[in-house]
Structure 1
Amino acid sequence: MSLEMTESRHPQDDDYPIKPSHGSSGTMIGRRVEDGADGGHPRSFFTRRRKVVLAGSVILTLAAVGGLICLLVKKPWSAQGGQSPFGHHGAHDDYSDGKGGQNGNSGTLPRFSPASAVSISNSVRCNAYTPALDQPFLYGQQPIRGVNLGGWLVLEPFITPSVFEPFLSQNVTDEYSLSKLLGLEKATALIQKHYDSWVTEATFKRIRDLGLNHVRIPVGFWALGNLAPDEPYVPDLSLDYLLQGLRWAAKYGLRVMVELHGAPGSQNGWNHSGRAGKIGWLDGTAEGEKNGERTIAYVKQLLQLLQGPGMEHVSPMFGILNEPAIFLLERERTDRWYKEAFAEMRNITGSGKGPWGVIHDGFLGLTQWEGFMPHSDRLALDVHQYLIFDHSLIRFSRKDQVNFPCDVWSRNMQQSTLKFGPTLVGEFSSATNDCATYLNGIGFGYRWDGTFQSEEDRLAGKPLEEAACEPAKNGHIEGYCSCQTQNRVGSYSQEYRKFLSDFTQTQMDAFEQGMGWFYWNFKTETSALWSYFDGVDQGWIPKDANSRPGGCKALGRPIQPFQED
């Protein structure tokens, strides 16, 4: 995750420890990367079918071209006669393109091609606690209980180390450097293989079976094409997989929060934005302003894509931008950007229509957003809650870590809901140390064992912080301060597993004092404390999110209603 850190305020403040995590727009409908064609460059509808078109008469050719223009100007699903891809006669399943896929994923189709159409019913529901897809989800009355599909359409080294490790010696640290090193053709092959295997239809089925009702899907700006010469990402390809994910979500009655996770120039300088290092977004430079404008263009394009008939049922929330590092930027400038982006969003959807708009708190703290954009049309605030990126909170005793959500985070959610408006937690995990491989970025070490140092501190010649595991305080227990041991699930005692269960469930209780939560992440390759699926398999996450045996009340710390001091 992050390369640069800041300290949160005292834990009793109405704030929270920040997460320093990793860390012209207009993609044509029907464009996709074709194997062995144009060196991997996307090819247009006309090019792929030129023999058929040229074989016809002049009149038929003009009609075909005219039809294509209409298709590109209209919404993506207008090729289906205006029928919803998620309605009673819309596209949903059967994605084979003749190439096959991996792990049960049968490949991708051009966006909402008529060949993918199957009949589904909007009456499908993910569980008995959640309305059917043709009924509104009552945000604020019914809690969001969801997971993130992180590491899928935006690569992260800590989620899938195996994708990056063959190239670490060549200074690969993020999707930007990986794509630049490999070049378009090889990067496309590697990334498409990853897309096919990391998330499949079985992923959505299991999410449904665990009692969850929402999925948050991060996507980078490169999914929408129109890249600058110095942006070596694979363009367009991930958009096909996003749309495939929406089809699967619809099949299992799950609602999706699509979210722009990486912006041109990088909105935070962390690897999960696509490019680690310098922030080149709204940083006070002409290029930073240009990247802010480009980001709004991508936001508009993504919103237009989500305006198809029936899409409101499966994608009722939209994350405008993930984790902009507002604490490092000029607040007035980012406030203006948020207001403009939200206004453009409602210009597209119309008043009272389209998905909720979700903005991130930028690591300023929830109280800093009280009174911002009052009376907006379905605007929500997203905060990411972690103990482990704070040098003080990571040192809390296990008892204090379990109680902290009940006592502090629950109050913060209630206060923000009252003084800003609807507030949700877009990311949290079961982790109580920062030992996950590459969590803080490649080569930056870990607070837990005393090896972590930010780039800023390193350049300033500052000494390393004392190990957060506090070996002297904890009796120099063998293996306790070893991140290798902490990552080894087989070494977890029953007592520790009980603690993880309590900590996870008190967080869920606290975050449901607002709109609810999305766990980060649905799975990882090597870090079980960040994997919802592993947590269920190992016993510290309930098998049904709607039937939780633990939590604040069960531990004798029922959440108290918020009152002004």
Structure 2
Amino acid sequence: MSYNLVPIGDGVHRRYPMEGQSPYPSQTSYNNSSASLNEHGSYGSTPALPLVGGGAPRKSGGMSRRAKILIGVGVFIVIAAGVAVALVFTVGKKKGTSTGAGGANSTSGAGGKAESLISGKTGSTITAEDGKTFTYASEFDGEWVHDPKKPLDSGGKAQSWSPRIGEEWKWGEDVIRGVNLGGWLVTEPFIVPALYEKYYKNDLGVKVEDEWTLCQAMGSKLAEEMENHYKTFITEQDFAEIAGAGLNWIRIPIGYWAIETMNDEPYLEGVSWKYFLKALVWARKYGLRIYLDFHGLPGSQNGWNHSGKGGEINFMNGVMGVANAQRTLTYIRIFTEFVNQPQYKDVVLMFGIVNEIRNVVGTEAIQSFYGAAHEAIRKVTGTGKGNGLYIAMHEGFLGLEKWQGALPGADRVILDQHPYLAFEGNMKATPESSVKRVCDWGSGTSKSSSIFGITIAGEFSTAINGCGLNLNGVGSGEAEGCDFWDNWAAWDQATIDGLQQVSLASMDALQNWFYWTWKIGESSELKTSSCPMWHYKLGLEKGWIPKDPRGSKGVCDSAAAPYQPFDGQYPASATGGGPGKIVPTPAFPPATLSPGLEAAALPTYTATGTLKSLAGPTFTAAPKVDAGSGWSNPDDNELAYVPVAGCSYPNAYSAVSVAVPPACTGA
């Protein structure tokens, strides 16, 4: 099919680069199957309940009066002891508080004093590291767990049906119901509008439209402003509420500036990493698994504001395309080495290596980089089940069918799609008409899961149109008719119910999913939160997001838009049973790069630099706990890609149309 691409350089936020057309071809229905999600949230039929007492037939008679008396006394003692333990724990829970330790310089509760409780269920009080308290609430029998003296031991259980942190996540049985923490460690003007609005007028005259220009406009206040944002936009309470909402995963976008910056790159270097460390501790505590997503890459992989800098695509594209990709490979290794450490690998189970690479880069170039990244990661982790994280690869807006048979033999690779109705340009869409549209995603997702392997939706939303402040970029304006969709406080119950059906149908069709996004901040200009159809937390409170996401099961069937459900059986390589190597291995770099450039003639970096390692969290109550060195594999000793000394390079963010410089071998 053809693609109507947004011209490169517009720099707007579009999670689909389409006008009036989804990049996912329409899918036909497959034969009906009885396989479906059971009441516990797993694939397949509902398992039979075990017989009481283990199911063994019991013999009658044969027991003396003396034996019966002794057994009766023993039972009384056990019951009495159990009641005593229960009473002690219950009283302790009411009077005590928990720790909210998380990240660098974390504390063990208010005042840094160790707390009496190390776990709790609904109704227990949590004291965060800033001393504020909140009540943990879970209607799904969730349990938080955090021992200040052993903060990296096993963790919480998000809900009764989700495996506890430290227990195996069973692909094909357990179901991902997740949410993105968009706008937190990589900011976006539609998610945190007030942060941007404050600097629309600035001393430098910079047009603030992405994090790059925001950081420039902040000037000397950069560190203060960005850290305050990191500290306040997402907190420990959000993690507790996410688990309480019936969700079991979070997807956390991150930019390369969490590691370092080069030259004149204006981002705040390294500070976002400190808050990712807090996320690791909070996720463990509340039983949430993490999908770490590399959202902001050197050069920009899509030219949109959520890559950090809107404008040109200079990743695997243009004169600096190879050099930016080499630098990215170094950062991928650094992230992988950290999360592959035994202290964190049971929390971070998935690593997305490139968010939303644009298909203008070309299929060959995309697969070339994916192959190189796969090789780099598996050199760190090893191959096969249990050896490190799963690798998520965005489908590049090529459509799921284009990936059937691609990257054969790849070890534990996940295909990530981001289907949205919002950017199809249909202002006439209604909630009722949109339900069937999202149900159409089901067949393609099931087919991809069976043929390629694990297929997820790393992003989707309830939005049926492109309405919302800054959704299409700062100052982009909105279409006629958006006033109604922006004014969520005035929606009637029919509108709310209709949108909830869109949410449920999307969850049903996409099967393993992450909603975009958990929270939308208020606009200082509007005095309210905009983009309501992207705001999970608000929708949960007001009704267009379901209280229990498991209620999505069968919604598409009920809407007369059934699809063939996935039966839970992935190809062997998808879960670690394959050869562990892509054959044939795509060449990196490919022979040519868009727009029509010979890769061999392009400037490159050299692998001679010093590798950085990322620091782990520290814990006040456990100062000697081993938080890792940041490097899991001592045999991984290849050096970092860095500029060749004595060579000059074009601007890494604006080199698509510049002349190829003469070859340079350095000083």
- Partners of 2:566 and 2:300 in 1: CA distance: 37
1:532-555 Cα offsets, whole Å, 9 max, x none, are 111110112121223458822343
CA contact (8 A) 1:501 1:550 kept: no
Q: Secondary structure at the match of 2:292?
A: strand
Matches within 5 A, 1:154-233: 154-169=186-201, 170=205, 171-183=207-219, 185-225=220-260, 227-233=261-267
Bigger shift: residues 362-371 or 197-206:
362-371
Indicate which of 513, 517, 521 corresponds to 1:517: 513
Change (3 A) 1:389 1:234: same
1:119-151 Cα offsets, whole Å, 9 max, x none, are 465263111111111211112222100000000
CA contact (8 A) 1:95 1:116 kept: no
Q: State the AA in 2 paired with 1:337.
A: F
Change (3 A) 1:92 1:178: closer
CA contact (8 A) 2:424 2:465 kept: no
**Where does structure 2 lack aligned partners over 5 or more consecutive residues?**
1-11, 29-100, 112-125, 131-146, 522-528, 568-667
1:491-534 Cα offsets, whole Å, 9 max, x none, are 2111111110111000000011xxx0000000102222111111
Q: State the AA in 2 paired with 1:412.
A: G
- Partners of 2:357 and 2:240 in 1: CA distance: 32
- Partners of 1:359 and 1:519 in 2: CA distance: 17
Match of 1:6 in 2: 18
Bigger shift: residues 125-134 or 147-156:
125-134
Change (3 A) 1:126 1:237: same
Q: Secondary structure at the match of 1:167?
A: coil
Change (3 A) 1:139 1:323: same
Offset, 1:191: 0.4
Bigger shift: residues 331-340 or 240-249:
331-340
Match of 2:536 in 1: 532
- Partners of 1:99 and 1:436 in 2: CA distance: 39
Q: State the AA in 2 paired with 1:405.
A: V
- Partners of 2:256 and 2:188 in 1: CA distance: 15
CA contact (8 A) 1:387 1:394 kept: no
Matches within 5 A, 1:391-410: 391=425, 395-406=428-439, 408-410=440-442
Match of 1:25 in 2: none
- Partners of 2:343 and 2:262 in 1: CA distance: 33
Change (3 A) 1:99 1:168: farther
CA contact (8 A) 2:155 2:285 kept: no
CA contact (8 A) 1:158 1:439 kept: yes
Q: State the AA in 1 paired with 2:408.
A: P
- Partners of 2:378 and 2:20 in 1: CA distance: 34
Indicate which of 380, 405, 421 corresponds to 1:387: 421
Match of 1:334 in 2: 366
1:233-284 Cα offsets, whole Å, 9 max, x none, are 0000001100110110000111000111000111111111000111121113
Matches within 5 A, 1:146-545: 146-169=178-201, 170=205, 171-183=207-219, 185-225=220-260, 227-285=261-319, 287-325=320-358, 327-352=359-384, 353-391=387-425, 395-406=428-439, 408-446=440-478, 448-449=479-480, 481=481, 483-512=482-511, 516-525=512-521, 526=529, 527-545=531-549
CA contact (8 A) 1:92 1:119 kept: no
- Partners of 2:213 and 2:23 in 1: CA distance: 37
Change (3 A) 1:340 1:505: same
Match of 1:139 in 2: 171
Change (3 A) 1:121 1:127: farther
- Partners of 2:555 and 2:341 in 1: CA distance: 40
Q: Secondary structure at the match of 1:389?
A: helix
CA contact (8 A) 1:430 1:529 kept: yes
Q: State the AA in 2 paired with 1:122.
A: S
- Partners of 1:97 and 1:138 in 2: CA distance: 33
Match of 2:588 in 1: none
Count of aligned positions: 440
Q: Secondary structure at the match of 2:422?
A: coil
CA contact (8 A) 2:155 2:286 kept: no
Q: State the AA in 2 paired with 1:295.
A: T
Q: State the AA in 2 paired with 1:6.
A: M
Q: Secondary structure at the match of 1:139?
A: coil
- Partners of 1:141 and 1:264 in 2: CA distance: 37
Bigger shift: residues 239-248 or 135-144:
135-144
Q: State the AA in 1 paired with 2:305.
A: N
Q: Secondary structure at the match of 1:302?
A: helix
CA contact (8 A) 2:429 2:465 kept: no
Change (3 A) 1:190 1:385: same
Change (3 A) 1:332 1:190: same
Q: Give aligned-pair identity as a percent.
A: 36
Off by >6 Å, runs of 4+ in structure 1: 97-100
Q: Secondary structure at the match of 1:311?
A: coil
1:445-464 Cα offsets, whole Å, 9 max, x none, are 33x42xxxxxxxxxxxxxxx
- Partners of 2:172 and 2:222 in 1: CA distance: 42
Q: State the AA in 2 paired with 1:489.
A: W
Task: Report the structure number with the largest CA radius of gyration.
Answer: 2
1:141-183 Cα offsets, whole Å, 9 max, x none, are 2210000000000010000100001222441111101112223
Q: State the AA in 1 paired with 2:18.
A: T
- Partners of 1:148 and 1:397 in 2: CA distance: 25
CA contact (8 A) 2:303 2:310 kept: yes
Q: Secondary structure at the match of 1:159?
A: coil
Q: Secondary structure at the match of 2:328?
A: helix
Q: State the AA in 2 paired with 1:330.
A: G
Q: Secondary structure at the match of 2:341?
A: coil
- Partners of 2:309 and 2:24 in 1: CA distance: 34
CA contact (8 A) 1:282 1:329 kept: yes
- Partners of 2:230 and 2:127 in 1: CA distance: 12
Offset, 1:425: 0.1
Q: State the AA in 1 paired with 2:215.
A: S
Offset, 1:337: 0.6
Q: State the AA in 2 paired with 1:95.
A: S
Q: Secondary structure at the match of 1:290?
A: helix
CA contact (8 A) 2:108 2:148 kept: no
- Partners of 2:172 and 2:510 in 1: CA distance: 12
CA contact (8 A) 2:418 2:458 kept: yes
Change (3 A) 1:303 1:549: closer
Match of 1:33 in 2: none
CA contact (8 A) 1:283 1:329 kept: yes
Q: State the AA in 1 paired with 2:520.
A: T
Change (3 A) 1:14 1:323: same
